[in-house]
Chains A and B, each alone.
Chain A
């Protein structure tokens, strides 16, 4: 187990290096830089721009040199300061992480809590109305683009007034609320984006759950279990589900990786103050230290998510051993 963990973490190092190098190379080679906006402002002098280019090392177009300027301090634990705010990138990411986790976490719980029972029921009542309904929901979730779904939700909120038009809090009155009101207010703001994100995730997991379940239910050991007199309920939930869930655990690992990255468009439309909006803004502005830190972090999340999935799998399936 220890060796397995060590090996996997060591394998993550070259992955991180390759991914960050590619990101840095693309930032270097794509046209434009953080200073473009300043360049187009009539009251900022070329001398100032030139000085900032030197300070940020933007005057070099050598991808290796530019990568080194990022890598060397990063190896010493310094991810740099954001160009835009001059504050350490880690602190800027830290400010946002909680908000994103709140949204993606609740969406994850929403989608898994609904996907597994729906998938199981769809498989058990195959080709009946329950299956058709869940099929409709999952096709809806799979085919609707998240931006469009988000916009529909916003429109719904604006027209009915039942939900807030984006945001995470009631910003104007937040200061005057007590903690109970703050909790309720956050929850109220959370409903629509959670439904949007959750439905999209749920669709995928539910299809997977359904097909795994159908396959398992048609196997011999299920018939045997039924034949020896076990109740249907016990067969489905204990014997069939336990066997059908393995691939979903792997999927769950991947979905952990999307916890920090998966909500960019939804965050944008809902004006949710999370990492997605921060990363998007940094990319648009070419705030390189921010983008690099985000890329490194998201890669790391993917590695860790996969690792967690493997460990989970070993725990629930005794046939799997981690070597």
Chain B
């Protein structure tokens, strides 16, 4: 029996080892081969020409939920579908020295001087991944689907993209959207109701879908169920360099070359070079690291702070561990500054004496000085992070360094707290206010995130050093989300923002505007409660309406300055990101913005 099992195992092992690595080489010929001709107005890539063949294997921590690029809102689906399978009218080059928009499916675009009319000139001769021609009608259809004005609430297309185009309501209460006109088969024009200098940011959310495939489903009010995860992948037709070949639940998603892709390289060879991209679903980050170490993965697009040292040791002529810069995601501490009352109990959300402190700029600044950000970086993030003092991180192209900074200064913090009339009156080692309330802060991180839990504990320690009775109390993420978005009766929370792509003011609007849902310290205000919040609202509105990029940058720098002076949220740190990958890939340009390695998947090739 034992002998039998053993021989069987050996046989199995030989089988497996004899077949691995077969297709993982460059063959020089594309498989699947290209079809049709390159479009007459093909996009000419400026990257270094490569060779055909090979595949790229990368991990995806979550299972893919949808093929429907319009309704997809989970990380895995968007990671896989965006850039690789679907495209917008314009491209965004994440990994360039200055990340910016690029003419993708448009040869060019024009904005009117008042930023209210945007015209896009579509590339001629482009085909969908099933060979059907692409033209203005598809753009019109995609836009119709996104803003869906023809169905009732239940069957209306469930997409957050509509909000991006939302321009408020008209006098009849009808939601306003930019009007899209077809000028000819290859020209479309958006007419806006309000000036919007950042309209390309909106356009970069309009993922184009083929009219010939999905019109029927949309007309019948069945679009939400269309392109579901059980759909035949052959029906998932897009304009990206790859198309879905196969998807197996909980295991992998295989993309293969889109044989009709519309880009060519400088030598006139059609793109993409790679035959396949394979996303392996691996839920656990430790598993991903092990798989990379075992050579099963070609790329590890997120090397976490705590494992950076281990992964860095693997560096060799074959493996590169590249520091790609500072993440756009931030960590912050928020003190509840909401003066409202609980509608059920009639009690204030924050005790009045505490609210008075939290709403005091000096108090927040004192807290900020008391926090040892460098210590936080060196302990919790093992050196793989940078301190931040305002709403966006140095990794963001919109970052301005002209912000007020808060180097760790216990004495200054103590002095500022004393100036607020806080002193230790009863000799217990903690500060009291004039009425004898001990200054206590309960900081809640979300329990599932070990870095945030450690951060909260670290900050609590810092605050105790200046005489504030701070404790850390981790809560479930669902609870924290509820506290921040509907209940509002918390004390202090440690959390982070995830940045969208492309970064920029529209992306963070909901946090900065006093009416915003994510204006965490006092959300959804009817009118701004302070002068500086009013100023922020005004600046954000102006940024929206200005087309001149330099002007917008200047105004956004002021937003960051005000934010840092006020310490509206007490911003803490941003992680440094690293990407580890096998050195065999040409044109690899990893970047902090997701998709970190495959944003230019059509240009990446496997070296000989």
Q: Do A and B interact?
A: yes
The chain A residues found within 8 Å of chain B, CB to CB, are: 30-33, 36-48, 51-52, 54-55, 81-82, 84-88, 91-92, 95-96, 99, 154, 158, 161-162, 165-177, 180-181, 184-185, 187-188, 191, 268-269, 271-274, 277-278, 281, 286
Tell me which residues across on chain B come within 8 A of A174, comparing CB atoms: 252
A/B pair count, beta carbons within 8 Å? 189
Cβ–Cβ contact A42 & B228, under 8 A: no
Nearest-neighbor residue (CB-CB) of B223 within chain A? A86
A/B interface sample: 9 pairs, CB < 8 A: A40-B495, A43-B500, A43-B510, A51-B153, A55-B153, A165-B290, A167-B280, A171-B280, A188-B12
Give chain B nearest CB distance to A270 CB in angstroms.
9
Contact at A43–B153, with CB atoms within 8 Å?
no
Task: Choose among A40, A86, A166, A177 the residue that contacts B19 (Cβ–Cβ < 8 A).
Answer: A177
Structural contact, A36 and B510, CB atoms closer than 8 A = no
A181: B residues at CB distance < 8 A: 15-16, 18-19
- Please tell me if the beta carbons of A271 and B281 are within 8 angstroms of each other in the complex: yes
B73: chain A residues at CB < 8 Å are 38, 41, 44
CB distance from A2 to the nearest CB of B (A): 38
Which residues does chain A contribute within 8 Å of B477, judged by CB atoms?
32, 36
Identify the interface centre among B65, B276, B484: most chain A CB within 10 Å of its CB.
Answer: B65
Contact (Cβ within 8 A) A165 B287: yes
Closest chain-A Cβ to B175's Cβ sits at a distance in Å of 9
Q: Is B249 within 8 A of A185, CB to CB?
A: no
Interface size band for B: 35 or more
User: What are the residues of chain B within 8 A of A185 when measuring CB–CB?
Assistant: 12, 15-16
Comparing B21-29, B395-403, B566-574, the segment that makes contact with chain A is: B21-29
Contact partners of B254 in chain A: CB under 8 A? 175
Question: Which of B22, B156, B228, B484 touches A176 (beta carbons < 8 Å)?
Answer: B22
* Residue B269 CB within 8 A of the other chain: no
Stretch at the interface among B84-92, B291-299, B449-457: B291-299
Q: How far is the CA of A91 from the CA of B230 in the complex (A)?
A: 8
Q: Are B287 and A166 in contact (CB under 8 A)?
A: yes
Q: Which residues does chain B contribute within 8 Å of A82, judged by CB atoms?
A: 65
Assess whether A39 is in contact with B294, with CB atoms less than 8 Å apart.
no
In the assembled complex, the CB of A287 is this many whole angstroms from the nearest CB of chain B, namely 10
Q: Which residues of A contact B511 (CB under 8 A)?
A: 42
Known: A48-B163, A171-B252, A171-B280. A39 touches B481 (CB 8 A): yes
Interchain CB contact under 8 A, B294 and A158 = yes
Which residues does B use to contact A, with CB under 8 Å? 8-9, 11-13, 15-16, 18-24, 55, 57, 63, 65-66, 68, 71, 73-74, 153-154, 156, 158, 160, 162-164, 166, 224-225, 228-230, 246, 248-252, 254, 276, 278, 280-284, 287, 290-291, 293-294, 296, 476-479, 481-482, 484-485, 495, 497-498, 500, 507-511, 516-518, 524
- B287 in contact with A42 (CB, 8 Å): no
For the complex, what is the distance from the CA of A181 to the CA of B281, rounded to whole Å? Answer: 21
Q: A95 to B518, Cβ gap below 8 A?
A: no
New contact pairs (20) apart from A45-B163, A45-B517, A273-B250, CB-CB < 8 Å: A42-B498, A42-B516, A43-B163, A45-B160, A48-B162, A81-B225, A158-B293, A165-B290, A166-B291, A170-B296, A171-B251, A172-B57, A175-B254, A181-B15, A181-B18, A187-B8, A268-B283, A271-B283, A271-B287, A278-B249
Q: Does B166 lie within 8 Å of A45, measured CB to CB?
A: yes
Shortest Cβ distance from A47 into B: residue: B163
Within 8 Å by CB of B158, from A55, A173, A187, A273, lies A55
Q: How far is the CA of A40 from the CA of B477 in the complex (A)?
A: 10
* Interchain CB contact under 8 A, A46 and B12: no
Question: A39 is contacted by which of B21, B252, B485, B498 (Cβ under 8 Å)?
Answer: B485
User: Are A273's CB and B160's CB within 8 A?
Assistant: no
Contact B517 A92 (CB under 8 A): no
Asked if A43 and B482 make an inter-chain contact with CB atoms under 8 angstroms apart, the answer reads no
Closest-by-CB residue of B relative to A95 is: B249
A contact residues around B510 at 8 Å (CB):
42-43, 45
Chain B residues in 8 Å Cβ range of A92: 229, 249
Chain B residues in 8 Å Cβ range of A85: 65-66, 228-229
Q: CA separation between A184 and B23, bound complex, in Å?
A: 19
Whether A38 contacts B15 by the Cβ 8 Å rule is no
* Given A32-B478, A184-B15, A185-B12, also A86-B160 (CB < 8 A): no
Give A278 to B64 CA distance when docked, in angstroms: 12
A158 CA / B278 CA spacing, docked (Å): 22
| A86 lies within 8 A of B250 (CB) | no
* Contact status of A172 and B251, CB under 8 A, knowing A87-B229, A91-B230, A161-B294: no
A86 touches B225 (CB 8 A): yes
Q: Please pick, from A31, A40, A51, the residue contacting B479 in the complex, using a CB distance under 8 A.
A: A31
Cα A49 to Cα B415 in complex, Å, equals 45
B524 and A46 within 8 A (CB):
yes
Residues of chain B within 8 A of A32, CB atoms compared:
476-479, 481-482
Query: Which residue of B9, B162, B251 is within 8 Å of A167 (Cβ)?
Result: B251
